[in-house]
Structure 1
Amino acid sequence: MPTQKALSFLEKVNKYPKATYIYHSKIEERLLMHSHNKHQLTYVEGGAVYLKTKDNSYFLPARHFVWIPAGMEHFIELKSSISMIRNIYIPPPILNSNDFFATMGIYPAPNLILEMILFTEHWSGNIFEKEKNKYQYIRTLGNVIAEMSKNPLPVVLPTTTNERLRPILEHIHLQVDQPLLLKNIAKLFGFSSRSLSRLFRTDLDISFLQYVKLARIIHSMEKLLQTQMSISEIAYASGYNSPATFSNTFYNLVKVRPVDFRKANREISG
C-alpha cells in the first residue's frame, strides 16, 4: 500500500480535475506504482532516472522529458542524486485533440520546450482556469510539445514479475561489462540454452541477445551523461570489444553517435 505521504501527494494532484498541478523539487516523491487523472510532464535536471511501467523500464537522459498519459500506471526511480525534478500535471480537457497525448514517450527537449518548462519554475500547486495567463500558458506548452515531439527515444527495456527471470536480468545489469553468453548464463541459473531463450521470448517478447544489447546501450548512456570517461572507456565498460562496434550499435539504436549524444545532452553542473 502507498504511504500516507504518497497518498496525500496524489490527492493534491487529483483534487481539482480541471486544474493543472505543478511540483518542482530536489526530491522526488517516493511513490509506488500509481496513476492519476492528469497527464504528467516530467523533466529532470542532472542525475540518472528510470521510468518504470508495468511492462517496461525507460531510461530518461539529461535534456529529455517524459510524457505520461493520464491513467497510466508508473513510478519514477532515481539512480543517483538529482539537481531538480520538474513535474507538470495537465488535465486532458484543456489540450487540443492529438494522438500524442495518449502515448507515453521520452523526447529530446529542444531549447524552446526547455525554456517553456523552466518558465514555470516559480509556480507551485494548482493553477485554475481563473488564472487566465498561467492557464493559457500551460495549454500552449502542452500543444507545443505535441507538435514538436515526433521521435521518442527508442531504447526501452522490458520488465518482468517472473521470479525465475528477475535474478537473471539483475545479473546481466551487474555484469554488463563482462562477456554475457546465453549458454553460460543458462548454466549458471540452471536452465538449458533453449529453455532460457524461450523464457526471454515468451515473458519479455525479446531475445536474450537483444536484451543484453539494450542493457549495454542504456548503461553506456548513463556513463556518457554522468562521467568524464572517454568513448573508448565507456565502450569497454559496457561490454564491447571495440569502440567502433559500440559506436555502430549505439547509432543503430539511438540514431546518433555516442559522442554526439553526449554533446547534445550533457548537463554540466555548476
Structure 2
Amino acid sequence: MTNTYVNKYYMTEVDVKPESIYCHHAVMGEEFIETHEHVKGQFLYTEGGMVFLKTDEKSYFLPARHYIWIPAGVKHSIHPSSPEVIMRNLYFPKFDTDNSFFNHVGIYPVNDLLMELIMYTNRWNGHILPEDQINFTVAKSFKLLLPELSHSNLSLSLPYPKSTKLRDIVNYLEEHISESVSFKDLANRFHFSERTLARLFQKDLGMSFIQYYTILRMLAALKFLLDEKMSVQQVASKVGYSSLPTFSNTFFKIVGVRPSEYVKNKQSII
C-alpha cells in the first residue's frame, strides 16, 4: 500500500459521496496513518494485533475483540502494532435515527452477534448507495444496532497531560510500570505535597491519580498479553501486581473480561 493510496483513501474517498455508507476491509500496510478526519462517523474493528488511536485530547487503545466508534469530525491518527494488522471499517453518514451514542468516541466489546455482522460486511467494498436497497438497508441496520449491542464503554484511554511537570510524572510511571509506585513516594520524588499533586491530576487530567495509574497499568498489561508470550502471572508482575487475583479483578473491571479469557479470545481471532 503506497502513501498516495493512504492519503487518497483517508482524506478524500470516504466522503466523496455524502449519502453513501463506505466500507473498507484491508491489511493496514503502514506503520501509522497520519492525522485526518471524516465527515462520516467511523466504525473500526481490527484483527491481527493491537492498535493505538490518538486524538487531540486522548490516546486510545483498541485491543482484540473490541471496536472503536469515532464520531464525524474527530481528528485522529492510527498506530497499529504492525503493518499486517487488518482493518475493518464502516463509515456512516448521519441518520435521523442517530442518538447521543454516536457523538462520543467509545471502545466496546464485540459479542458473537456483532462479530457475525462484521464478517457479513466482508463482502462489501467501497460506496454502498441508497439505490442499492438491500445492502444499504443491511448496512444501515448495522449502525442502528450498535447502541443496542454496545453497553460497556471501556475506559481504554488516557488523556494527555498539559502540565510539563505532570508529563514528567507520567513518563516516570510509564518507565517504572513494573513497580508498584505509591502516591506518597511519587509526590516526594517530584517535590509535591500529596494534596497539591492530587489536585494537579484532577485539574489537568480530569481523573484521580489512582484512576490514571490503574488504566495505565492495564493498558500496559494488554500490550504484554498481545505482544509477548507471557503467562497471566508474568504479566501481572510486569505491571506491578504481586497478587494475581487483584490483577485479574482490576483487569476485569477495566477491560470487561478476565485476562485468561482475553488471551483465549485473542488467540482465536489473531
Alpha carbons of 1:41 and 1:74: their partners in 2 closer, same or farther (altered >3 Å)? Answer: same
Distance 1:248 1:44 in 2: 26
Residue in structure 2 matched with residue 160 of structure 1 by the alignment: 161
SS in 2 for 1:246: helix
Residue in structure 2 matched with residue 77 of structure 1 by the alignment: 79
Deviation (angstroms), 1:234 = 1.1
SS in 2 for 1:165: helix
Residue in structure 2 matched with residue 236 of structure 1 by the alignment: 237
SS in 2 for 1:120: helix
**1:212 equivalent in alignment to 2:213:** yes
**1:108 equivalent in alignment to 2:116:** no
Deviation (angstroms), 1:158 = 2.1
Task: Give the aligned residue type for 2:153.
Answer: P
Task: Give the aligned residue type for 1:62.
Answer: A
Distance 1:45 1:81 in 2: 11
Q: Deviations over 1:165-213 (max 9, x none)?
A: 3233233223211232334444555655554333212100222232111
Distance 2:29 2:188 in 1: 40
Residue in structure 2 matched with residue 117 of structure 1 by the alignment: 118
Q: List alignment gaps of at least 5 residues for structure 2.
A: none
Task: Give the aligned residue type for 2:18.
Answer: P
Distance 2:7 2:162 in 1: 24
* Of 37, 43, 49, the match for 1:35: 37
Q: Deviations over 1:37-95 (max 9, x none)?
A: 111000000212122233332221111111112122332222345430111111113x6
Residue in structure 2 matched with residue 137 of structure 1 by the alignment: 138
Deviation (angstroms), 1:222 = 2.5
SS in 2 for 1:66: strand
TM-score of the superposition, structure 2-length normalised? 0.85
Q: List alignment gaps of at least 5 residues for structure 1.
A: none
Distance 2:212 2:81 in 1: 20
Which shifted more, 207-216 or 252-261? 252-261
Native 8 Å contact 1:62 1:267 kept in 2:
no
- Kindly report the root-mean-square deviation, in angstroms, between the aligned alpha carbons of the 2 structures: 2.7
Residue in structure 1 matched with residue 46 of structure 2 by the alignment: 44
TM-score of the superposition, structure 1-length normalised? 0.85
Distance 1:5 1:192 in 2: 52
Q: Deviations over 1:128-170 (max 9, x none)?
A: 2222222222112111223221222234322234333323323
Q: Deviations over 1:213-240 (max 9, x none)?
A: 1111121122334443222111101111
Native 8 Å contact 2:155 2:215 kept in 1:
no
Give 1:180-219 correspondences, 5 Å limit.
180-186=181-187, 188-189=189-190, 191=192, 193-219=194-220
Native 8 Å contact 1:46 1:267 kept in 2:
no
SS in 1 for 2:164: coil
Distance 2:193 2:80 in 1: 35
Task: Give the aligned residue type for 1:133.
Answer: I
Distance 1:105 1:33 in 2: 18
